[in-house]
Structure 1
């Protein structure tokens, strides 16, 4: 892990070389145009349209809620293998979505990016094959999962959106952070039991 390198690039929080993607209901009408780096993170208000960071992991389009994205770093900035990087003094626990989603992993040693995520309870980072940019959608564009999704994958994803004449699966944030939350609760419970036993 390269803490010094990660810290040096910490100022790049939210400075994503972003492609602005305005998606319409018709996948044929997806418009993409380059935009300059933006210093602010995408933090939609409750009245704004949903925003998603579109990525590729293991050849599959996956979408993260943009308001959870704290920044994007490169492999060089965090080092290999991916452990829990510390950025601006804040640790981000590594989340292995490749293994959890049973996706191909041959690309992991190549050029990749690391997406930093956080909600009110947890922080984590995910290695992704490619970052495509921010997708601004209308609420109606987040489609329900088809009936083919009958197993545990219904917990992995909360819907899908049209992207690049295909679909991007919207990750369920609660599931992404699930192991962390369980670990914290388990640790807290263990400390409580130890305290009672003492």
Structure 2
């Protein structure tokens, strides 16, 4: 059960940022660095460190600007399933999960990371840019969830489940908001008669 909660925690972290969780995973392993991380273990550690530090700085610094947020979201949305799967496999291996469950961990991690990225994109377009406090909260939660995945998987998994519940609630709210914009007779087809993109 702890393995599942740890995988959920790391998935939620990769759903917020993509390089920062991988950087923290390597730094938390100390001597072995990224030796248990799929794909990254095949690349020389100095190169991995340089790329992850650079991209983490880009995520942390440029995510505060609205135009840069949009560009980052495109990259993070495309990469989040892969990074989520990599992080899920890593946590499953480090927690010595049975080999049969490793592909399931990869699939669940990748999908959960994609869901969280989609919710972020949805909020970005709904609010016409994320507020600064929300971006700082994402950064904080990302680091916290990675640390919890290794040191307190129960708490990390519960936070991830709470975030998933909020994501599901968000989609229901968006649907109601979108339908409320339509005329009374077109509630089931809110796009009917619209010329401009939403």
Q: TM over 0.5, yes or no? A: no
Q: Which has the higher contact order (CA 8 A, sep 6+)?
A: 2
Q: TM-score of the superposition, structure 1-length normalised?
A: 0.28
Greater helix percent: which structure? 2
